[in-house]
Structure 1
Amino acid sequence: MSRRAAIRPLLAPARIRESFAVAAPPSLRNAAVAGLQTSLAVLIVVAATHLSPWAHLEGYPALGALAALFGRFAPAERRMPIVALAGLLLTAPLGLLSAVSMAGAAPATMLLCLALLAGVLSVLVNRWRIGAPGVVIFVFAACAGVGPVDSWRTVVERTAFTAAGAAVAWWICRASDSLRADPALPVATAADGARPALHAGIAGARIALCAATAALLALAAGWAHPAWAAIGATAVMQGTQLHITMHRAVQRTVGTVLGAGLAWLFLAHHPTFWWVLLAVVLLQFATELVIGFNYVFGLICVTPMALLMTSLAAPHATAGMPMARVLDTVLGALVGIAFALLFSTLDDRAHLAAHHEKARAG
């Protein structure tokens, strides 16, 4: 099947219906524990920072606290190393991009650096078998380093507070990880296998190119948050098959539109800091409970949570954020689908054709 011929089954109504299928998560208990650990870490680090002399940095430890999301299905002996590695991948890219920004890099250069990091992070996530929720979380955190930086002290503070959030997440996971044990969890899902190095490198290069294209298109369009388009493109490119890429694009678009609407309604009431923090904590926990059933459900919670976390880091930049998130997500999804099809192999397209015929027969 040619790439042109693959467009029809890729865009078939059946792919849309499949995108909304609901499935049971591998372990609701483990998801709930990971959500509770992350929510508690976010609550502690953000509240403590808000009450400190560094209240203007309160969004950064929240990013580090997301390390608690990782390793939820890993064996007990691997959980804490995975959380530690996740903390490193949340902190280092943010610090690196902040340093590049401080060095005077132009906006386009910053976006290219972000895209390159997205590719590198995808390779590291694969090599270190970090697993769900995957590279998108790390790219989201790295986006916080793209904006202007006024001093090297700010670079150090951003990095230090993100690392502190990751450290608190590690401590909370270590103290409560016994709650995560689930005897019903199949052994096969305990750890994610890694791709061969060559395949992972090629996939990383594709993600970097796709993220760069989406972000630069958003920048050329004059949109306020072009880095968010790189997040959307990276998320869509995580699909292992063409039809899964399409599912991700549909799910991410629909979930983001609905979630952005919730964020707009909430922000329109000009909530105080404590109401924003409470919403972030509740949305974080809700995300982990529902995302295993369908990615759409997760995005409905993730989108307002991400926007509210952004408002904590930049409280004066909330106007227009929900619509900007929708536009960037749609652009990232479209670019992601185009790149997935462009770089697809003959086997990928044959698998799509077989899947399409099976769906029609069923």
Structure 2
Amino acid sequence: MTVPDLGAPTPMGRIAALTQVLRPHQVRASLVLGKQPSLRISALAGLQAAAAGAVALPIFYVSPWPQLIGFAALGAMVALFGRFSAANRRGRILLWCALCQSLAVFVMSAVAWTGMALPAQLALLSLGCGVFFFAVVSGGFGPPGALIFTFAAGAAMAPPDGFHEVLGRTAATGAVAILAWGICAASEALRRHSPEAPALPVDQLRPLGHRLIAALRIVVGAGIAIFASHALGVAHPVWAAMGTIAVMQGAYLHINMHRALQRMVGTVVGAAFAWVFLQFSPSPWAVMAGVVVLQFVAEVIIGTNYGLGQIAVTPMALLMVHLASLGAAGPEMAAERVIDTLLGAAVGIVIAIVFSTLDERHYLALQAAERQKRRAQRP
């Protein structure tokens, strides 16, 4: 059979690009299980973060400041960064991430303490999403990217009792982040990569203009998702912003679509698990154990398929909120998480298409042409 010469396709229009990423083969591709760059290194990052949480959470719970336990959990998550970086570089990345996490908590807590109007706080959170994204890609922090800092900023929007609590939140986050750094440094020998193993992924630093444009797109997308969530009366608009960021930080339009589908499905399943677990009114010790275990499990499986990872990440995040609220936030959070995630992912894919560049749509056209060529070669 003669294969027609497709030539070099021209970039798709935005409507055509949206149609292309919604095709059934894109849905099927989002279900594929991939091979992780290094399961051992990913598992170690999860174990390091889990170890920091296992040490810090019980200490804060029995301390005179149990209300800071959620911020302690946020500090432990710093151990997830820089997992594929060289040993001498990872230590610096972790310290920078500890600073970013602490600043996210301090700034949003201080803003909430001043009594700034909620719309202004939401606008500042939207701006922060772009700033966090720019810091992550410029610093080469690696996964999980800007999501962790955004989560911390959103958590810090709860009004503090006074400026002393602003400082307490920041200190709890920073202290456990330093603990996580110490645990990572102490176990660095376990992370050494064998020269015979496949090369670890290295993110190429994009030009400054590209990074700024990508950050601006995230500000717009996160802002739309946040204010739409707020208009719907959902209690945690930051979750919608996280859904948008997760989708838009992909390198290609079809990857963005895969992330949107995976995050939607994984969140629905994970939220159902959290809802069932919280129905039994678990003790704080059971919730802490759940957070620690899910942290490790998430990092083991998320590199295989992002959707599978969300099945562990979603209940972990909900249990962290339950723990931080000292039990006040219950099973009803699960439905809110699903609504916000669906909203954020949908906004993310639309904004990614609307603000897509010619290069991005040209790559999508090349992908479509290659698929058509393979289909034409079939007997």
1:105 aligns with 2:116: yes
**5 Å matches for 1:130-279?**
130-183=141-194, 184-187=196-199, 189=201, 191-279=202-290
Q: Which residue of the partner structure matches residue 308 of structure 1?
A: 319
Deviation (angstroms), 1:246: 0.4
Aligned match for 2:339, one of 319, 327, 345: 327
Higher deviation after alignment, 274-283 or 135-144 = 135-144
Partner of 1:293: 304
* Paired residues for 1:21-40 under 5 Å: 21-40=32-51
CA drift at 1:353:
2.3
The answer on 1:341 being equivalent to 2:357 is no
Q: How does 1:36-47 map to 2 (within 5 A)?
A: 36-47=47-58
Q: What is the root-mean-square deviation in Å for CA atoms of aligned residues?
A: 1.2
Matches within 5 A, 1:57-96: 57-96=68-107
Over 3 Å counting, the alpha-carbon distance change for 1:152 and 1:22 in structure 2 is same
Amino acid at match of 1:297: L
Please name the residue that 1:351 is paired with.
Answer: 363
- In the alignment, the residues of structure 2 paired with residue 242 and residue 283 of structure 1 have an alpha-carbon distance, to the nearest angstrom, of 30
TM-score scaled by structure 1? 0.97
Distance 1:100 1:185 in 2: 48
Deviation at 1:185, TM superposition (A): 4.3
Q: Structure 1 counterpart of 2:93, which letter?
A: I
Flag the 1:118–1:358 CA change in 2: closer, same or farther, 3 A: same
Deviation at 1:87, TM superposition (A): 1.0
Residue 325 of structure 1 deviates from its aligned partner by 0.3
Does the aligned pair in 2 maintain the 1:108–1:219 contact within 8 Å? no
Question: In structure 1, the residue corresponding to 2:144 is in which secondary structure?
Answer: coil
Gaps in structure 2 of 5+ consecutive residues: 1-11
- TM-superposed deviation, 1:192: 2.6
Structure 1 unaligned blocks of 5 or more: none
Measured after TM superposition, the shift of residue 350 of structure 1 is: 2.1
Q: 4+ runs of 1 displaced by more than 3 Å?
A: 184-188
Q: Which amino acid aligns with 1:231?
A: M
Task: Give the Cα separation in 2 of the matches to 1:267 and 1:188.
Answer: 39
Post-superposition CA distance 1:145-202 (Å, at most 9, x none): 122222111111111100011011011111111111121444452x432211111111
1:318 aligned residue: 330
CA 100–155 in structure 1, closer or farther in 2 if over 3 Å, else same: same
Alignment partner of 2:130 out of 96, 116, 119: 119
What number of residue pairs does the alignment pair up? 361
Q: Select the structure of larger CA radius of gyration.
A: 2
Which residue identity does 1:192 align to in structure 2? D
